[in-house]
Each structure stands twice: as C-alpha cells, then as structure tokens.
Amino acid sequence: MSQPKTPPPLSAKDPSSFAYPTMKDRIPVILSKIVDHLTRNKLHITKEYGGEAAREELKAVIGAISELRHDVMTNKPAKPLRDSRHDAPLWNAQLEKQLNLKREEDEMHRTEQVKGEGLRWFDDAWLWMECYLYRRVQEAFLMCTLLKDFDVFAQQKQDAFKNAFQSTSHLTMYLQEVINRFKEQVPEAEVKEYFVEFLQVSLWGNKCDLSISAGQVQSHDHNPVIHLKVLKHKLLIDESDAVYQILRKVFDTKGKPAQVDIVLDNAGFELVTDLCLAEFLITSGLASQIVFHAKSIPWFVSDVTLADWDWTLNTMSRMNHIAISELCERWRAYLEANTWTVELHDFWTMPNSYNEMHKVSPDLYACLSQSDLILFKGDLNYRKLVSDRQWDTTTKFESALRGFHPAPLCSLRTLKCDCVVGLRSGQVQEAEEEDENWMINGDWAIISTCEHRET
C-alpha cells in the first residue's frame, strides 16, 4: 500500500498553529512561574538543601531560567547542553543532526541563512524545541551540586493530586465495589462494560495536565465514572471495543492474560486513573502483568517521575480513606510480586518521535515488543507517535505511525495541539461548529488503536 507523503512538522513559524501561542505566551509564563516559585521559596529551599552554598546555587538557577526565557522570547539559537547528565551527549548529537537536516533543507529550497546557524524557537520543529526547553530547565539544576535533583514542579504536582481528592474518592470507592463484584463470576458483557469505563476514565484523566494551563491547578470534584456520559459525544474516535478485543485475543491465543504496558503521562488525578485502570486489568484477569513507564527527569511540568510515583503511593497509603488505603495495599503487593513494575528510560525525555525509537533506543523498542498492548497516555505521547506533523485529519493512524509498531498499541489522549489523524471527513467541521478550540483545549478526546503494523 502506498504511504501518504509525510507532511512538514508543526512549528511556531506558522502563526495559525498552536505552536505559536505556546512559544509566545505559554512557555514564557511557565518559565516565569519557575522563577517566582524559586524566589518565593528561597528561604525554605536554602534551609533544606544546605544553607549559604544552596543560596548561591539557587541564584544561578534563577539566572539561567531567566536567560532561557529571554532566549525563547527573542528567538535565539538553541545552545548545546553543558551539564554532565549521561543523556547530554545524545541530546547534543540530536541537536547536530537536526541542524544538518535544516542545512540540507535550506540548500534544497535555497533559503538564505539570514539569521545565522542554529535551531530557533519560532522557526523550527515545535516538538523538538519544546522537548529541548524542558531539558534546558533541567540543565539549570544539573549544573548545581546541591540542587541537582530538585524538581521545581513537584509542589504543583502534589497540589494537583490534593485538589482531586473528591474525584479520587469517588473513583476508588467505585473500584472497590467492582473488585467485590469480581469475587463471583462476572458475565463477559459486564466485564467489557467495566473495562470501557476504566479505560475512558483513564483517558479523561488526561484533561488534567499542568502545562496546558501553564501550571494553573484546577480542582476536580465530580464523579469521573458518572461524568463519562457527559463527555461521550466529545470522544471523536472511540476504539475502546477494539482495545478490549486485543486483550481478549491474547487470552484465547496464548492461554494466559496479557502484559500491558502503560506509558504514563501526568501525575495527580491522571495517575490515579491509570492506577485504577491497571487494578481493573489485574482484577478482571484481562492482564497478569503491568509495566508502567515513567519519566527519568521532571518533564512538561506535570509528567510522572519516579519520585512522584513514590510520593503518590506513600500519600495514598496514609490517607484516612478506606478505599484509597486498601487499594494502596494491593498495589504495594503487586509491586512486591513484580506483577506491576515501573520502568525508566531516557528515550521518553528525548525529542525524537517514536518512529525513530528502533534506531535511537533499540533496547526500549525490544522491551516494548514483549508487550501485548501498549497504552500511550496523553497529548505529548500522541504527538510523538504521529511525529507531530501537519497531517490531513483523515490520514489513517497506522500510516501516521510511520512504521512504529513494537506491539499492538493504543493512544488515550485529550486534544491539546493542532495535530490529529483518523477522523472521518466532515468531523472537523462538526467539531468546529460546536467549539472553535476543540483541537487545543483538552475538552475533546480520542481512543485510537493500531493492532497490526501497516503493510
């Protein structure tokens, strides 16, 4: 079958793309908030991290972040990373590679290099530049000795978790009921119904990231299961059935439940919904092994790091809430028995789209190939799955993956950028009539699946 021509990447050079307001407004706000947070908490941080020496480091970090903000706003070229984290050489090699591509393109189109060499915030690929931005934020801390492991977004992530207490309470109590229901034989149709509920709750959990709201924590107090009905018509692609069938088939062909990999996105309520989905998969017998993939550095404000994972489980187990603390005990037992594992890989915090994974990180590709189903959470994972390109919205998901297919996979994503595939014709107009910001406000969503590699 002929592959569609790969369109150009999204970029802030196009003022009509969401990339442009992201670079122009959202990123400067996120960087200002970092500076504010560090300034406001100066005393506390200095005390906790070692006094006078920490104060000096904090000053340097604030300087570096302010400079980064200025670089973005004045469209300065991307500089090579200077810290000694083990991924720095890889990043710098990617920077060089991206620059070479740019040179080739410039030559091909005989574009004059008026601004001189370098990748620039408002001229080059949005995905690349935005990932690089979060790695540069980390660089500011990695240049320190005392503050090198400081997560400047930790407080926001913890507040987001606390603000979602009501929704967490509803969801965990419901999950407890479902677990009790499974003490007896549950008819197949009902298993599927529950599965779709937990899958979709986990999908809508993705509404809650902190980078889209530039760090503004919102409170969530509705019952997320009941709320699914309200959200139903905003689900533009719903392949929940196909996902269920993938898991069922594993059981039929292998004679054992599936291994499901969950490539996590945000901490806070989204992580709670992912944990509940994982619990349901084990309880129902649809899966016997869950592999969670978290980030190895603070990323896109709210993404889950190992420290966030630990903080969330520790906090939940101490909560005076019977469903929450009991579930936590089950989860600790799964982790101890390796029924659940949490993996880290630096590839998740590189700028590459996933069609490059087999070349850049063949070990991760091989590891994901062991899975029976990979669930990719959230907007950024989606952008990387489809290479963050200006696809025609009716392009098939399998084609946009450009050969990435370690195993059957599914994207659970609320839309927060102007890139989506797999829609039927006419769907764009329908959504636009109802909500002009449907592509970027996180109110609309998709569940897109790819069972087989495109041939």
* Residue 212 binds which entry of Mn ion, ligand F6P, none, CB below 5-8 Å type-dependent: ligand F6P
Least Å from the CB of residue 302 to ligand F6P: 6
- 14-18 — which CB contacts under 8 Å span 24+ positions? 17/126, 17/418, 18/416, 18/417, 18/418, 18/439, 18/440
Name the binder of 417 from Mn ion, ligand F6P, none, CB < 5-8 A by kind.
ligand F6P
Give 180-219 as a DSSP string. HHTTS---HHHHHHHHHHHHHHHHHGGGG-TTTTTT----
285: left (phi over 0), alpha (psi -120 to 50) or beta: left
**Which residues lie near ligand F6P (CB under 6 A)?**
22, 130, 206, 209, 211-212, 265-266, 300, 378-380, 383, 416-417
Residue 70 CB, nearest approach to Mn ion (Å): 25
Rounded Cα distance, 51 and 67, in Å = 25
130 binds, among Mn ion, ligand F6P, none (CB under 5 to 8 A by kind): ligand F6P
Indicate which of ligand F6P, Mn ion, none lies near residue 383 (CB less than 5 to 8 Å, by partner kind).
ligand F6P
Cβ 1 to Mn ion shortest distance, Å? 33
**Residues 198, 240 contacting (CB under 8 angstroms):** no
Residue 28 · residue 69 · CB < 8 Å = yes
Task: Give the DSSP letter of residue 23.
Answer: I
Residue closer to Mn ion (CB basis): 303 or 398: 303
Closest approach of Mn ion to the CB of residue 270, in Å: 8
* Burial classification of residue 25, based on how many CB atoms lie within 10 Å of its CB (0-12 exposed, 13-18 middle, 19 or more buried): exposed
- Of the pair 339, 441, the CB lying nearest Mn ion is at 441
Pick the closer one to Mn ion by CB: 197 or 209: 209
Strand ranges of the sheet holding 409-414, from the earlier edge strand across to the other edge: 235-238, 445-450, 409-414, 373-377, 258-263, 287-294, 340-344
Nearer CB in complex with ligand F6P: 3/216: 216
Q: Which of 310, 302, 318 is nearest to 267 (CA)?
A: 302
Smaller CB separation from Mn ion, 167 or 266: 266
- CB of 201 or CB of 250, closer to Mn ion: 201
Judged by beta carbon, residue 215 or residue 378, the one nearer ligand F6P is 378
When CB distances are held under 5 to 8 angstroms depending on the partner's kind, the choice from Mn ion, ligand F6P, none that residue 444 binds is: none
State which residue, 261 or 303, has the beta carbon closest to Mn ion. Answer: 303
- Closest approach of ligand F6P to the CB of residue 363, in Å: 24
Closest distance to ligand F6P from the beta carbon of 10 (Å): 10
Q: Angle at which helices 154-163 and 269-284 pack, to 10 degrees?
A: 60
Minimum separation from the CB atom of position 453 to ligand F6P (A): 24
CB 378 within 8 A of CB 442: no
Q: How far apart are CA 35 and CA 59, in angstroms?
A: 10
Task: Specify the DSSP element, H or E, that contains 450.
Answer: strand 445-450
As measured in angstroms, the least distance from the Cβ of 44 to ligand F6P is 28
8 A C-beta contact, residue 139 and residue 79:
no
CA distance 13 to 92: 23
In the complex, what is the shortest distance from the CB of residue 212 to ligand F6P, in angstroms, rounded to a whole number? 3
- Sequence-separated (6 or more) residues with CB below 8 Å from residue 248: 286
Binding site for Mn ion (CB under 5 A): 209, 265-266, 300, 303
Looking at beta carbons only, is 147 or 262 nearer to ligand F6P? Answer: 262
How many residues are there in the chain? Answer: 455
